[in-house]
Amino acid sequence: MGIYSKPVVFAVLSALVILVGTIVTVFIPLFMPSTQPVSPLIKPYTAIELEGRDLYIREGCNNCHTQTVRPLRTEVLRYGEYSKPEEFAYDRPFLWGSRRTGPDLNRIGGKYPDSWHYRHMQSPQGMFEKSNMPPYGWLAENPLDTRYSIKKISVLGYGYSAAEVERQIADYKAKVTAADYDSKETRDQVTPEKLRNDLTEMDAMIAYLQKLGQDVKNLEATK
Amino acid sequence: MSETGYEYRVVRGFAFSALFWLVIGLVVGLWIAFEMFNPALNLTPWLSFGRLRVVHTNGLGLGFGLAGIFATSYYILQRLTRAPLAFPKLALAHLYLFNAAIALAALSLFMGMNTTREYAELEWPLDVGVVILWVMYAINVFGTLLKRQEKQMYISLWYIIAMTVTIAVLYIVNNLAVPVTLFKSYSLYAGANDANVEWWYGHNIVGFIFTVPVLAMFYYFLPKATGLPIYSHRLSIISFWALIFAYLWTGAHHLMLTPLPEWIQTVAIAFSIFLIAPSWGSVVNGYYTLQGNWDQMRSNYLVKFFILGITFYGLQTLQGPLQGLRTLNAFFHYTDWVVGHVHMGTMGWVAMVISASFYYMIPRITGNELHSVKLANMHFWLILGGQLTWTITMWIGGIQQGAMWKATNPDGSLMYNFLDSVTSLYPYYKLRFAAGLVYFVGILIFVYNLVMTVRKRPAEA
């Protein structure tokens, strides 16, 4: 057997052998639009939602929460409409996860008011005594860093202009700092006084969570 | 140190690096195991579960796993080619850079620089570092193979070559990203494609770090430790090619019932079932090697590690494909069952084989007798008992959780809310933590035994 005495030939042959499955199941699907369909009804994340998503990534929330509802009866009962491929067209990276230490979050948007999230992130155990979720109150003590928002949006090709990004940030700031914000009382409780008129990391995280699963309703409405 | 000028300093350096990262990784593992039933240990952002879990997986996968692979493969490479390493200085630089990179990796993950790609969480500057390290390693692998004194390449060398080539392809393709800053990048792929690329990587990085090079160790050290030749050369040829061919098709069994196109999922199921054959090819080859010499299970402490190790590999490679079947996957996926599955492979197969390989190798490269066979036996029983209790606890917990998620009342409504399914697992998490402690003590004995072995003066031996 000649190849067992020719290391370079052996290496090339091994490479070819491992590339067959790789090409068929990974490379070819990359160039098939049907793998990741795009729908005009699913909107890209706004700058604030994207910053929140990056915090979700930084904190490794995906280690305990999935973002994909499977088409199973009890799963749809528990979480809502099962996940559709179009929903993930703007997800770089994807955050489907692999373990549910906590519940799936793909349909969390709009399920609870912002105030629920402020309170829950501040102290999960305050809300559910036996929960094992780590507290994230310190997110409200960090001002939100938006220095790279414009660059991020442009790298991801979401199509918002620099002016639109700045307006999204200003609008969201105006919303959560307004006197008539429906979750003002809870936000003020968890946010240190000096940051109450600024955007915090917790604000962005909640904006992201509230976006999850919102657009799929439009998608379903057309079917 | 050696009569033929073999480079053993780097082997020893990587072996003790592996032990160092093993202890660190297990301490982090115990910490997060505690957090699972008592969140009080989430003391600071750096110690919160979401960040620490990644330090645990990377510390053990990259730190312990890779260092163990580098140590044993640099040794095997020189012995099987009967040639010293082609570039010994490069290998030493590889050793120092490797440890610096793992330390930086741990630090960056503590700080939350995390791409979320499982087992590829490092941000792009560290990815570049990993690629450089891999090239440094590959130069020595192929350099040494080209100037070898032994014409035929033995089985272990095939596995080392396949790993070297495949890891390069996997790591580069999966980590392609567009940098935003030095500390932040976005994946090149979106949504379903990103998931497909990541789990093609995620499944195969386990295959080509925790299977292929560990098989290289098994095929080399088992005959060495027992004085018995591998049962069938032909079986090892078939197993090798079938394994590396089929592995790459199966990543999508991690994405069952997700929005990934169904045909990719189905192809992955088919190849997963096929993979049982080449996996068991190696298991059978291992068992039959001992044919007629099973008394060595009692008389030779190393054989216990290898045979139990390959047994866990066999169980792992049966359990894995079954979990990939749609019906079973719908029940088990996302539960602790899968956590148990992974840990049978890592705590059972990988750790057992690396332990025995080190016990064989370290005395030979230092010229000292092993400090204590009695301690090695104690190490064996502690990690065996610890691992079995750990994994069986998680399987039972996983079944319970899966059942609670699916349970419905007669009127069709859900029987349990999600929190019920979490809190009902706390007793299992406590038992898992205790089992982890037992395992950890076993590992500490392992480390102590090897430290005492190298500290002995050769004159005393």
- Which ranges in chain A belong to alpha helices (H)? 7-22, 28-30, 47-58, 73-79, 114-122, 124-127, 149-156, 162-177, 184-190, 201-211, 216-221
Looking at every residue in chain B, the average pLDDT score rounds to 96
Give the pLDDT of residue A217: 87
B257: left (phi over 0), alpha (psi -120 to 50) or beta: left
Taking contacts as CB-CB distances below 8 angstroms, the residues of chain B near A61 are 50
Mean of the pLDDT values across residues B367-392?
97
Residues of chain A with C-beta less than 8 angstroms from the C-beta of B195: 88, 94, 96
CA distances from A28 to A21, A87, B240 (A): 10, 21, 26
- Tokens representing B225 are 């430790």
% of chain A residues with pLDDT over 70: 100
Q: Tell me how far apart the alpha carbons of residues B131 and B125 are, in angstroms, rounded to a whole number.
A: 10
State the nearest Cα–Cα gap between A181 and chain B, in angstroms: 29
Cross-chain residue pair A15–B36, CB shorter than 8 Å: no
- Chain B nearest-CA residue for A18: B245
Q: Please state the rounded mean pLDDT for residues B137-146.
A: 98
For B415, residues 6+ apart whose C-beta sits below 8 A from its C-beta are B404, B407, B408, B409
Query: pLDDT tens digit string along B194-233?
Result: 999 999 999 999 999 999 999 999 999 999 999 999 999 9
Mean pLDDT across B236-255: 97
Q: CA nearest B129: which of B147, B108, B156, B110?
A: B108
Query: Cα(B324)–Cα(B331) distance, rounded to whole angstroms?
Result: 11
Pick among A6, A10, A25, A127 to test the B interface (most B CBs inside 10 A) = A25
Question: Which of B244, B406, B413 shows the shortest C-beta gap to A14?
Answer: B244
Instruction: Give the pLDDT confidence score for residue A223 in this predicted structure.
Output: 74
**Interchain proximity B42–A151, CB inside 8 Å:** no
pLDDT score of B459 more than 90: no
- Flag whether residue B240 sits within 8 Å of chain A, measured between CB atoms: no
Q: In chain B, whose CA is at the least distance from the CA of A33?
A: B193
DSSP letters along B403-418, please?
HHHH-B-TTS-BSS-H
The CA distance from B97 to B133, in Å, is 7
C-alpha distance across the termini of chain A, in Å: 60
Q: What is the pLDDT of residues A128-176, one digit of tens each?
A: 999 999 999 999 999 999 999 999 999 999 999 999 999 999 999 999 9
Q: Could you give the CA distance from residue A47 to residue A153 in angstroms, rounded to a whole number?
A: 7
Closest CB from B194, B196, B407 relative to A91: B194
| Chain B residues with beta carbon closer than 8 angstroms to that of A132 | 35-39, 422, 426
Quick one: which of B105, B258, B180 has its CA closest to A50? B180
Alpha-carbon distance of A45 to A53, in angstroms, equals: 9
Q: Residue B181's beta-bridge partner residues?
A: B184
Which of B259, B330, B338 is opposite residue A88, by nearest beta carbon? B259
Q: Is pLDDT at B4 greater than 80 in this prediction?
A: no
Contact state of A85 with B191 under an 8 Å Cβ cutoff: yes
Q: Can you tell me whether residue B373 is helix, strand or coil?
A: helix
Burial of residue B169, with CB atoms counted within 10 A of its CB: 0-12 exposed, 13-18 middle, 19 or more buried = middle
User: What confidence score (pLDDT) does residue B15 get?
Assistant: 98
Burial of A31 (0-12, 13-18, 19+ CB in 10 A): exposed
Residues above pLDDT 90, as percent of chain B: 98
Res. A219 pLDDT band, cuts 50 70 90: confident
The structural domains of chain A, with segments of one domain joined by +, span 1-35, 47-221
pLDDT in tens, B292-325: 999 999 999 999 999 999 999 999 999 999 999 9
Q: Which residue has the tokens 């005959």?
A: B223
Chain A residues close to B148, C-beta within 8 Å: 7
pLDDT at B1 exceeding the cut of 50: no
Distance CA B445, CA B374 (A): 10
Substitution target from A101, A154, A158 for chain B, most B beta carbons within 10 A: A101
**Which of A55, A130, A132 best probes binding to B when mutated, by most B CB atoms within 10 angstroms?**
A132
Please state the rounded mean pLDDT for residues B97-114: 97
The structure's pTM equals: 0.96
Among B35, B145, B166, whose Cβ lies nearest the Cβ of A18? B166
Among A64, A78, A102, beta carbon nearest to B414: A78
Cis status of the peptide bond prior to A93, with omega within 30 of 0? yes
Q: Which residue has the tokens 């009890």?
A: A74
pLDDT on residue B458: 60
Q: What average pLDDT does this structure show over B248-272?
A: 97
- List strand residue ranges (DSSP E) for B47-117, in order: none
* Model confidence at B247: pLDDT above 60: yes
Residue A200, SS3 per DSSP: strand
Is a pLDDT exceeding 50 seen at residue B397? yes
> Which chain A residues touch B48 with a CB distance below 8 Å?
59-60, 134, 136
Indicate the CATH number of A47-221 among 3.40.50.2300, 1.10.760.10, 3.40.109.10, 3.40.50.620: 1.10.760.10
pLDDT above 70 (res A222):
yes
